[in-house]
Amino acid sequence: MPPTSDLDLELLRAAALLESDPAAAARAAGAILAAHPGHEPATLLLANARRRCGDAQAAGEVLGALASAQPTAAIVQLELGRALRAAGRAAQALEAFERALELQPDLAEGWHEAAALYAARGDTARCDVAYQRYTALQPEETHLGEVGAALATGRLATAESLLRAQLARSPEDVAALRLLAQVAARRERYGEAERLLNDCLRLAPGYSRARYDLVCILHEQVKGEPMLPLLERLLALEPGNLAYGTLRAAAYTIVGKIERALEVLEGLLTSHPDHELVWLYYGHALRAAGRIAEAVAAYRRSTQLRPGFGDAWYSLANLKTLRFAPADIAAMRAQLERTDLSDADRLHFEFALGKAAEDAGDFGESFAHYARGNGLRRATVQYDPDSATRQVERTRALFTREFLAARAGWGVSAADPIFIVGLPRSGSTLLEQILASHSQVEGTRELADVAAFAQELAVDADPQRDAYPESIARLSRDELAALGERYLSQTRVHRQLGRPRFIDKAPVNFAHVGLIHLMLPNARIIDARRAALPCCFSNFKQHFQRGVWFTYDLTDLGRYYRDYVSLMSHFDAVLPGRVHRVQYERLVADLEGEVRALLAYCGLPFEQQCLRFHETRRVVQTVSSEQVRQPLYTEGVDQWRNFEPWLGPLKEALGDLAAAP
């Protein structure tokens, strides 16, 4: 074997020791240099090994001499920079990395190292550009191909197992952390996904893909305020990115800055006048602002640009007050006949045609469309009705009279929040509009803060185990007070008018009445209740974009309604009078009497304008936004009866509640 081959083998063996035993690698490199003085690869290996052993000064001395001898060697500059950084000489290290990149612009590791130093000195723009160059040169997920295949086929357990094994070997593998966050998000463990993505950005501040994923997770949870600074940074890197721009508008909409959202969207329409998605989002913002005619025009423009865009057609149907023309119905039916239509578009058309047939009085056809749309949606969501029932049972078991009495007076004394809880389509938006018409009360939106606290409290050492609500028992008086203060702080961004009271209308908070009571004992809690059959069927014919997974099957709906009533009855028993119930049917029959009782419960004087709620001009961001801008009407109370022949599974699941008012 030629001598050079023997030397190459020695170098390979020495280099193989770098990760596991850098001291041995240093000895092996020293032996090579003893036999071959001045050998450049061995010198580079020796310096690398010494740095890994913690002797950065010695490594720097070796590399400084080598850099003088080889001024055009990019790899030498890279290793010199690493040694200087390890020695605490960040400015000189960055100079070396920049010199390496001048010599070799495609040196991926050079961009990675430079990105970290730019971040350390607060230069976010250069950090993000450098990390973008790094990921373009060295795709970060190439070593996780098996994980990608598992995610693509929906095998979440396999993906999670592979990722946790990888992170056990390499805890700072940001690509693995990011994909594990995707697994958590697909399981709706948003708090865990947030934590993992924040870990990604702590380890790799320039990792824009992780930053974008974090924005999407926050958007799923309707957390607009923290989205904005993340999006500003993403847009600084890619000003023309349409996804970033539309999410920015969505964030402004969430925090109630509708005019700002409209400005952003109008700017996007200038640069993307023929993009159907921008027109859709523009329609959403116009609708929230109460500019209904313009919203209709925006949605129609979206359907013209892409006739198969089911979401745009459904957005027209979801206005509730619009009736489709025969030409519209024909156009939607033609789209449904396509064999290449995606399931996502198809289910939107089914819901839209269900509304059209209902308006036309053809209730059999209407139900068939609703049922097909729900079936398509149910197949895509992960919802376990048994788990939902167990959660209610665990909550009832925890919040006993004794448990609550032992914590009486804990939390924050502020009485600012008025929580409206219950099920969707129960009249909660109407109650919000009535209360927001009062001079002392501000309407906001369905805030996600309490649900986010519950997710945080659900985190356990075992990622498969949900520790909530039992984890509430471990919270001290000070910790519950801190949660209350945090809630008030986080929700302040939504209080644009400076009124003393504000509304949090998140129906799902019925599951967290106990937590709300402990952290905010003087907050008001209103249960918006609607009779079981009309409430459940109204949910069945409504397509929700996210989160309301129990609405896509009549049996699931009936079980969920029973669980809800069971839990609220429990709190009526252990906290008598704590929750004020407003029955929708009674509200419709006696508006003034129910409003007077509601205001008295909230500690508010009666104001006549609360009865003229439809005259109140404010942003409304729920599916009932058009209905609450009209006077109260009674015609809709019994609309569900048109579909009674098809509601057998719902009645069976509801049991005795099917007949309850």
Q: CA–CA separation, 358 vs 540, rounded Å? A: 13
Predicted confidence (pLDDT) per residue in 85-117, tens digit: 888 889 988 998 999 899 999 999 899 999 999
Predicted model pTM = 0.80
Decide which of 1.10.760.10, 1.10.3470.10, 1.25.40.10, 3.40.50.11540 is the CATH code for 3-137: 1.25.40.10
Predicted confidence (pLDDT) per residue in 177-197, tens digit: 999 999 999 887 888 899 999
DSSP three-state, residue 432: helix
Predicted confidence (pLDDT) per residue in 581-608, tens digit: 999 999 999 999 999 999 999 999 999 9
pLDDT for 294: 96
pLDDT for 621: 47
Mean pLDDT of 624-649: 71
Confidence class of residue 20 from pLDDT cuts 50, 70 and 90? low
- Identify which of 602, 412, 435 has the alpha carbon closest to the alpha carbon of residue 515: 412
Answer yes or no: is pLDDT of 7 > 50.
Answer: yes
The CATH code for residues 385-659 is 3.40.50.300
Mean pLDDT of the chain: 89
pLDDT for 29: 65
What's the alpha-carbon Rg for the chain, to the nearest Å?
30
- Strand-pairing partners, residue 309, are none
Show the tokens assigned to 463.
Answer: 């990622």
Answer yes or no: is pLDDT of 50 > 80.
Answer: no
Answer yes or no: is pLDDT of 628 > 60.
Answer: no
Contact yes or no for 443/435 (Cβ under 8 A): yes
Percent of the chain exceeding pLDDT 90 equals 68
Confidence class of residue 26 from pLDDT cuts 50, 70 and 90? low
Answer yes or no: is pLDDT of 416 > 80.
Answer: yes
Residue intervals of the chain classified under CATH 1.25.40.10 are 3-137
Query: Element (H or E) spanning 579, and its range?
Result: strand 579-583
Contact yes or no for 647/533 (Cβ under 8 A): yes
- Identify which of 634, 620, 600 has the alpha carbon closest to the alpha carbon of residue 438: 600
DSSP for 197-226, written as a single string: HHHHHHH-TT-HHHHHHHHHHHHHTT-HHH
**Edge-to-edge, what's the strand order for the sheet holding 579-583?**
441-445, 501-504, 417-422, 524-529, 579-583
Q: CA–CA separation, 372 vs 367, rounded Å? A: 9
Residue that the structure tokens 């939504």 belong to: 494
Amino acid at 134: Y
Residue intervals of the chain classified under CATH 3.40.50.300 are 385-659
pLDDT for 14: 60
Least confident of 16-20, 55-59, 117-121: 16-20
Degrees to nearest 5, angle at CA 193 with 191 and 194: 65
Mean pLDDT of 458-467: 66
Confidence class of residue 15 from pLDDT cuts 50, 70 and 90? low
Mean pLDDT of 269-278: 95
Confidence class of residue 625 from pLDDT cuts 50, 70 and 90? very low
Q: CA–CA separation, 62 vs 360, rounded Å? A: 85
Predicted confidence (pLDDT) per residue in 537-550, tens digit: 999 999 987 778 99
Predicted confidence (pLDDT) per residue in 513-531, tens digit: 999 999 999 999 999 999 9
Amino acid at 659: A
Show the tokens assigned to 656.
Answer: 């005795």
Q: How far is CA 579 from CA 389, 526, 529, 574, 596, in A?
A: 21, 6, 12, 11, 16
Answer yes or no: is pLDDT of 77 > 90.
Answer: no
Answer yes or no: is pLDDT of 119 > 80.
Answer: yes
pLDDT for 508: 93
